[in-house]
Amino acid sequence: MKTARIRIKMCGTTNLADAMVAVEAGVDTLGFIFYEKSPRNIDPEAARIIIEQLPPFVDTVGVFVDRDREEVEEIIRYCRLGYAQLHGLESPKYCERLARFAPPCQVLKALRVGDHTRAEDIEPYHEHVKGFLLDTYQKDKVGGTGKRFDWSIIKRLNLKKTWILAGGLDVDNVAEAVEAVAPYGVDVNSGVEKRPGEKDHDRIRSFVRRVRDLEQ
């Protein structure tokens, strides 16, 4: 089945070698996790060094979890990030203020999707964010679970902004995901890793090829 162009984001970037392989393979966007509890956490200085060496037209996303807004703004400016992806309990007001005071960086709100997820809880965010990232809900984890959620839940969320699908995607299930729910983009992390924070270059290439094959 032919689809429109699907944006590919690879999250959990921690080193230049992984970043360059991803870009050369055709990944559109690289994600950098600024969350100390994550095994894929990266220091802003290290992220900045990688970002400075990327070619043109590669988007960059900083992933944050309930961090002080001024600290997020500082990292955005220092690393020259294009997007801030918020994975915690950040309020709609937090999102609105971040979008206002950290331009041209744009705000994405991550939603941890499970049986409890309701459209009315998401509604207040619509006017303050550029889009959503849908990840898998797992108690005591804010993302990076490596598990997929029930994609049928998406229909009842009444999303009015562009959204990106995450949660346990890999080369074996990404085609099924795209055909089932037609996301604007897909986000891969553990599905292309050897171990947390270290990517498998062959898996990156295979994942990108699989997605691009859907567009033929």
| Known catalytic residue at 105 | no
The CA-based diameter of the chain, rounded to the nearest angstrom, is 45
**DSSP H or E segment with residue 12:** none
3-class DSSP state for residue 84?
Answer: strand
Q: Token digits for 148?
A: 């997929």
Query: Which of 11, 79, 95, 105 is the catalytic position?
Result: 11
Closest among 150, 68, 60 to 112, alpha carbons compared? 150
Tokens 């400075």, residue located: 52
Query: Which of 18, 79, 105, 135 is the catalytic position?
Result: 135
Distance between CA 173 and CA 202 in Å, rounded? 16
The residues, ordered by sequence, that sit 6+ positions from 138 with a Cβ below 8 Å of its Cβ are 112, 145, 147
Tokens 């990688």, residue located: 50
Contact criterion met (CB below 8 Å) for 136 and 111: no
Closest among 161, 108, 99 to 135, alpha carbons compared? 108
Give the angle 150-13-92 at the CA atoms, nearest 5°: 55
| Known catalytic residue at 135 | yes
Q: Which of the residues are catalytic?
A: 11, 135
